[in-house]
Structure formats: C-alpha cells, structure tokens
Amino acid sequence: MNYFSSDFKLGILGGGQLGKMILAETRKFDIQTYVLDSSDEAPSRFGSHAFYKGSLMDFDTVYQFGKMVNLLTIEIENVNLDALDKLEAEGLPVFPSPKTLRMIQNKGKQKDFYVENNIPTSPHQRFVDLSDLKKSIEKDELDFPFVWKCAQFGYDGNGVKIVRSAIDLINLPDVECIAEQMVPFKNELAVIVARSVSGEIKTYPVVEMEFHPEANQVEYVICPARIDDKVAQKATDIALQVSQAFNHVGLLAVEMFQTANDEILVNEVAPRPHNSGHYSIEASYTSQFENHLRAILNLPLGNTASKVAGIMVNLVGEEGFSGQVVYENIEKIMAIEGVTPHIYGKRETRPFRKMGHVTIVNEDMTEARKIAEEVKNSIRVISII
C-alpha cells in the first residue's frame, strides 16, 4: 500500500491533544488525514486535510465520516461502536477494532476479561447502578474502603473515587460501576505495547508514574522507571500477556501497580497513544505516536528504546483560574537545557484541565529528575486577570 503523498486517507476519531500529536507524524509521512471532533476549538483542528465537527457518539456522524476514509483509528475510546461495527463489516479497516474498544470502554467488562485471561488484577465487583452497590454494602458483600469507578466514560481522575465510609457514597453518581479492592502499592507503572496489523510486537521501556495527590492526575512520568530489573521484566511480560489477550492493532498502554511485595497487578489499559508515553517524542528513537501510525498502517515498527532519560510533567490548569490561558514562567523553563514544552492549543484554562506537558531529557536521570522538579515549581497555567 502506498500511503506517502498518495490518495490514501486516514480517519481519526477525536481531535484532542493525542490526535494533534498523531497528526504531527502523519505530516512527516505526508498521509492524508480526516479528523472528527465535537468541538471546533479542538487541538487537532489544524494540521489535517479535513476537520469535521460532529458527535463521536452519534451513529450517523461516525458512520458517514468512516465512509470517507480508507482506514479509521481513534484517539479516544468513547466513540459510537455500532457505527464502527457496521463500517468494519462493510470492509473498512478499523484499528483498534470495535471488539477491542467494546472490551475496554466498559471497565467492568475489562476487569472480567483480565480474570478470564489469568491476568493479575485487583479483586473487583460489578454493579449495574448505585443502588445495586449500596445493596451489596448492606448485605456485607462489599467492605470499606474500596475504589469506586464508573464503568464508562471516566477519564483522568473523573469517575474514580476512594470510598472509605458510607459518607463517601453520598456524592457518587447513579451509574454502572465497579468496586475494586484497595491495593497498597509502591509504584504505579506503565508499559506501552505496539502491535502491527501483521502481528509485529514491540514494547516501550517500563515507566514510573507519580500522581498529584489531590487531582488524581499524573504529575511526573519517568522513563525508565527506577525499579529493579526483575520487576521491570515482570511488568513487561504481563503487558505482553495483556496485549496478546486483546489481540489489538495499534498501541496498548498497560497501567499497572507494583505492590508492596513486588507483585504486578494490571490496573487498566488504553488502546491508543497515552499520557505515559509523551516522553517518547523527545527521548525515544521512535515516538509512541509514530509507532501507533506504523502499527495501524502495517509498516515495520520503529525502535522503542530511549536515546536519553526522559521525564514528563503534565501542565494542568491551576486551581482558582478560569479563562484565557497564560503559561507563567514558560520562558524561564525554556532556558533550561533539555526542556521542551508542548502546548495543546486550548485557549481556556480551567482547574486541573490538561493544557499541555513538558518533557525533560538528559543523559543523566538524577539530573533530569532535578530539572523536572524545577520545571514543576516554576511554570503555572493561569488565566489573564
């Protein structure tokens, strides 16, 4: 197949920052792209051949969009799967497949899938709605504390809550949900697996994530994770096991917990480029975005190894600021060697909104970590007063 400067058209469902960074790679290869997003302020509104505004959850919109392209991919899981089923049945390649997406869209199904496939994961229970969960507590079938997760459409801390006592139940929404046993963990790790149409597989190095305690959003992603080689190998093996079970095409980001006794438990997966792989743009031989493209286009996968140590700092909107964004002290951090800001292109900031990220690369991890903290303490995402 001739993708390069040809009539071939790639469709991308979703026009957020992930789509924007995928688009950057399509420009490098000169692949024609069509993008669908519900907002005409979407970060991907530039850089594609055609941008369409429309709901990703609407059957007709997604179906009609799919009819215009030669291959369809996603940058967000929450899309109309019935439309994808129909497109696939009509012969359009859709990667990841609607089958993979259906398994992942619902966190209850996803957890069941791990159990069925002997993939280590924390014990869970599924509930059709909030009253179903409350009944389970009343019957002593579910004990405090537990991690509550809404089964669908949660992201970045939304849709996840630690429930310590009955009082925490009050503000939970009445939706399908799961309750997971709380697992004390030393580290949260992630491995991104790339798998091409023809089945070629490569894994990125294990990364380590540090979370912001309040916002439940990733604060630093550190590559390689500063963990024992044996633990890293185990995490990689389990990520490959998950990849094999899903039989996905494209990237699969596998988030895992490293428990106190060095067990690895799979938390959840994303079948697309992932926040935990943004460091790869600067640090890796081949970025996750390029390898997502290579995988779905059935091109050979690129080298997933790193040239240098990489750390990513998320840029999220500061609490107390809403409106036209200003990146305070961005000049200051740009003066530090190996620091690259990525501004996603959202004009309005809101508390905890993901507005961008900063990558720090260095030959020396200790130095990179020091600089990352300096970056974190310097830059603020605020609004024009």
- Residue 138 is assigned to a ligand binding site: no
Using the minimum distance from each CB to its own copies, give the nearer residue, 120 or 341: 341
Count, residues near its own copies per rule CB under 8 A: 44
**Contact present, 3 and 63 (Cβ < 8 Å):** no
Q: How far is the CB of 245 from its own copies (least distance, A)?
A: 27
183 is in an annotated binding site: yes
In the bound state with its own copies, the residue whose beta carbon lies nearer, of 67 and 307, is 307
Distances (CA, A) of 105 to 96, 171, 256, 297, 384: 12, 23, 18, 23, 37
| Residue 217 marked in a binding site | no
Of 67-75, 81-89, 90-98, 319-327, the segment contacting its own copies by CB under 8 A is: 319-327
Give the footprint of its own copies on residues 320-339 (CB under 8 A): 325-327, 330-331, 334-335, 337-339
Separation of first and last alpha carbons in the chain: 53
Q: Site for its own copies (CB under 8 A): which residue of 361, 368, 375, 382? A: 361
In eight-state DSSP terms, residue 380 is E
**Rounded Cα–Cα distance for residues 292 and 88 (Å):** 19
Q: Is 268 annotated as a binding residue?
A: yes
Least gap, CB of 148 to its own copies (angstroms): 35
Would you say 370 is a known binding-site residue? no
For 198, residues 6+ apart whose C-beta sits below 8 A from its C-beta are: 298
Tokens 């830059």 belong to 379
Q: What is the DSSP string of 23-62?
A: HHHHHHHT-EEEEEES-TT-GGGSSSSEEEE--TT-HHHH
Task: Report the residue number, 23 or 133, with the smaller CB distance to its own copies.
Answer: 23
Residue span 72-111 as binding mask against its own copies, x where in contact by CB under 8 A, dash where not? ----------------------------------------
Residue 188 annotated as lining a ligand binding site? yes
Q: How many whole angstroms separate alpha carbon 158 and alpha carbon 200?
A: 34
**Interface of this chain with its own copies, residues 211 to 270, rule: CB under 8 A:** none
Site for its own copies in 292-311 (CB under 8 A): 294, 299-300, 302-303, 307-308
Contact window for its own copies (CB under 8 A) among 81-89, 105-113, 207-215, 342-350: 342-350
Query: Least distance to its own copies from the beta carbon of 285, Å?
Result: 5
107, 290, 321, 376: residue in contact with its own copies (rule CB under 8 A): 290
Distances in Å between the Cα of 372 and the Cα atoms of 69, 219, 311, 353 are 41, 10, 7, 20
> How near is the Cβ of 3 to its own copies at its closest, in Å?
9
Among 235, 243, 295, CA closest to 269: 243
Shortest distance (Å) from residue 168 CB to its own copies: 37
The least distance separating its own copies from the CB of residue 372, rounded to whole angstroms, comes to 15
Closest to its own copies by CB, 92 vs 326, is 326
Q: Which segments of the chain are extended strands (E)?
A: 9-13, 32-37, 50-53, 71-74, 124-127, 146-150, 160-163, 177-181, 185-195, 201-203, 207-211, 218-223, 250-259, 264-270, 309-316, 323-328, 339-343, 348-349, 354-362, 380-383
Find the Cα–Cα–Cα–Cα dihedral 317, 318, 320, 323, rounded to 10°. Answer: -30
Query: What are the residues binding its own copies (CB under 8 A)?
Result: 2, 4-5, 20, 24, 27-30, 43, 46-49, 285-286, 290, 294, 299-300, 302-303, 307-308, 325-327, 330-331, 334-335, 337-347, 361, 363
